[in-house]
Structure 1
């Protein structure tokens, strides 16, 4: 599918509700377990998504719109959530994520972007030159990837409990 901003927004605006419906008010057995050492729990993933709302997508969009290749994106701290989420509950993270996502989508809509804007280039510290279209498409794919990650981590909590059905459940065998 070719990138279309309105279609992208359809996914971006739903992510907070999907996460809220899946995770709100669940016990920590569901939200704080991971797949083992150096893996993330659903709590960690939501914290990561929240950090991205604060420091990544809109900030980088604005840098690209400046149309100055001398400005490089600030490197994204993929592990900031471990410090930022301390003392918070899953419900706190979900509320904050929803509020920030809504604010960021309003900012995005207010930019009144056109096809011409999507070809503007920014400089990623690791990837080099990237277009606004690539950044915005990545925002959508990033959301969907982390939703899949959350459901995979949760499903694996019952990996041993499903007995012989495990062989039919690809999510448990990855």
Structure 2
């Protein structure tokens, strides 16, 4: 990659790229009087400029629907019906509360399998002490779905649900 391409990628001037090269901020070598830039080191430098996500606060988690629980030295924020946070599934229910239909990424799933999807994450909480999300689940990190068309796919519902809650909390 030359200095012009690197400047375009970094949204900086060519002079800035040359300055970084002379100061060894990014890696590169001169070949025939022209700089050849190491893309990996340029990407690493650009990653330093990436904005850090806003911290997740207890107040924000409660505003988006979490319920605080404090007992026996534990301080947690629990979320009821964790799969309702998934951005990939759409579940319809009968008046009784039973699953009447389910789609994952707009692909139909048999109702018998839909129940397994809905219940694959039993409990989900944020531990205030360690600042991490936790879940009690059954293979939700690698759940295999069999669609009505016969195809199969493994989906990480934990990452999907955790990501949706984090996004909502940062926006709250």
Band of TM-score, shorter chain? under 0.3
Instruction: State the TM-score, normalizing by the size of structure 2.
Output: 0.27
Choose between structure 1 and 2 for higher RCO, CA contacts under 8 A separated by at least 6 residues: 1
TM-score by length of 1: 0.27
Name the one with the larger helix percent.
1
**Greater strand percent: which structure?**
2
Which of these two proteins has the greater Rg computed from alpha carbons?
Answer: 2
